[in-house]
Amino acid sequence: MSRATITADRDFTVGPVPHRLFGSFVEHMGRCVYSGIYEPGHPQAEEHGFRRDVLSLVRELGVSVVRYPGGNFVSGYRWEDGVGPVSQRPRRIDGAWHSIETNAFGLHEFADWARQADVEIMEAVNLGTRGVDAARSLVEYANHPGGTCLSDLRRRNGSPDPFGIKLWCLGNEMDGPWQIGHKSADEYGRLATEAGKAMKLVDPSIELVACGSSNSGMPTFGTWEQTVLRHAYDVVDNISLHAYYEEQDGDVASFLATALDMDHFIESVVATADAVRAAGKHDKRINLSFDEWNVWYTRRPGEDQPDAISERGGWHEHPRIIEDAYSVTDAVVVGTLLNSLLRHGDRVRIANLAQLVNVIAPILTEEGGPAWRQSIFWPFSQMANRAKGQVLRLAVDGDRYRTEKFGDADLVDASATWDDENGCVSMFLANRGLEESAEVSVALRGLDTARIARAEVLTVPAGADRFATNDAGRPDRVRPAALDGVVLDGATTRLTLPPLSWAVVELDVTRS
């Protein structure tokens, strides 16, 4: 049995829990929109064609903000195609995902859906094939009250009130050679600066996210962020990070430790942004928007080639693309990635699990059929709904294990929050050990524990293995259960985590 000791002090905090840390992502890709959130004619569809069963799951998931409409899709997208009478909207080729876009779902539909889902909109503008004029025009259409050509067009199209979108992405992954309209750092930095300036002339209240490197493995990583921010520092408020992880060649030990890579990625971008701040003698700090992250199997075991969308033949509406089925192992990894984001909540102010429905998503649906929760739904939902107040700065001392990719890693990974208003400490814990349980003791300083309010754990179901998943026939196979044996021992809480598990423990506390 492995062991870990965790110490937390009410006066040692990272900062407030960012509300936007629990975001997600809806892209016009595969079945995320069509037959995902939107399916007119479905038995669960309401009057606008939105699936009620999916809306219910999204609200349960606890999503706070949703990035839209892409992703790679946005770099070839004309926002004007998605407004006005649906019967008059053009059908277009989408080169990003080798599919046909009907444009039956656009900005008005998404804004209506977001209101029902109770989420904030994070809108992306096309800086691939378009630029300054299209970006500022979209802000005017979306946010200006009325009395101008574009705002009055919005009103005629059925939305008399402005959408009031505050959060805007300046393009997507523009350093990626796969991106439509791929640019150099100087090209993008200048364009993002001028587009951002024009957008803020229309609506000075908006917040802007500049594209960082597409991932930390890019040859451009580091120098890209530095160059872009040298151009755009005074205009933008955040810079983006994207990261996807998968188990490769059976190296589950490294896969379970990928949060160490996320930690390093975040800290590297913070260092770069702060270096530009110092060199430019700027007053404000640039924060981070981790607006794409998840587990994504680009190469499944036994497959010789990565997922190649364009090789599947033909042009189709909403084809099935990267609909990964997530296992217990994946859920534990997602839990540790959430821990990493929460631990860096002082600078990571926005994060978006990519994507929301069907496409590498916590929610799966069948066209005309049911919707259900994937294994990764649970750690996200538990943290999104229970991480309140202040992020506690934890000291973790315990057994470690060796990984090929990341060196030594803690067997027990943890984060925690303290909600003074409601008198609650929430702890989020993962046991990366595949074979051994972990004995964990948690000491709270400056807080007295009155009782254990909640203790739940997600682990391998009885009679299954670590690859167990949920599906339409067994939608609840992988889900949290009661974590027994949690005890209070004076100022210390003691518990045992099963092998390969993710747990949430809530304590009712008072100031001591």
Q: What residues are labeled active site?
A: 173, 292
> Do residues 357 and 365 make contact, with C-beta atoms less than 8 angstroms apart?
yes
Residue among 339, 349, 351, 347 at smallest CA distance from 394: 339
Give the rounded distance of the alpha carbon of 117 from its chain centre. 16
∠ CA 419-333-73, nearest 5°, is 95
**Token pair of 2, please?**
């492995």
Say how far apart CA 258 and CA 403 lie, in whole Å: 10
> Do residues 180 and 75 make contact, with C-beta atoms less than 8 angstroms apart?
yes
Burial of 219 from C-beta contacts in 10 A (0-12 / 13-18 / 19+): exposed
Residue among 221, 194, 218, 222 at smallest CA distance from 208: 194
Burial of 498 from C-beta contacts in 10 A (0-12 / 13-18 / 19+): middle
Residue 208: strand pairing partners: 168
DSSP 512: -
> Do residues 239 and 209 make contact, with C-beta atoms less than 8 angstroms apart?
yes
Q: For the residues of 104-132, what is the DSSP string, one character each?
A: SS-HHHHHHHHHHHT-EEEEEE--SS--H
**Token pair of 421, please?**
């208003």
> Do residues 484 and 434 make contact, with C-beta atoms less than 8 angstroms apart?
no
Rg, C-alpha atoms of the chain: 23
Residue among 202, 13, 28 at smallest CA distance from 110: 28
Burial 3-36 (b: 16+ CB within 10 A, else e): ebebbbbbeebbeebbebbbbbbbbbbbbbbbbb
**Where do we find the tokens 């929109």?**
33
The length of the chain, given as a count of residues:
512
Most distant CA pair in the chain, distance: 69
> Do residues 143 and 207 make contact, with C-beta atoms less than 8 angstroms apart?
no
Distances in whole angstroms, Cα of residue 267 to Cα of each of 132, 182, 239, 385, 473: 31, 26, 13, 26, 42
Give the rounded distance of the alpha carbon of 228 from its chain centre. 23
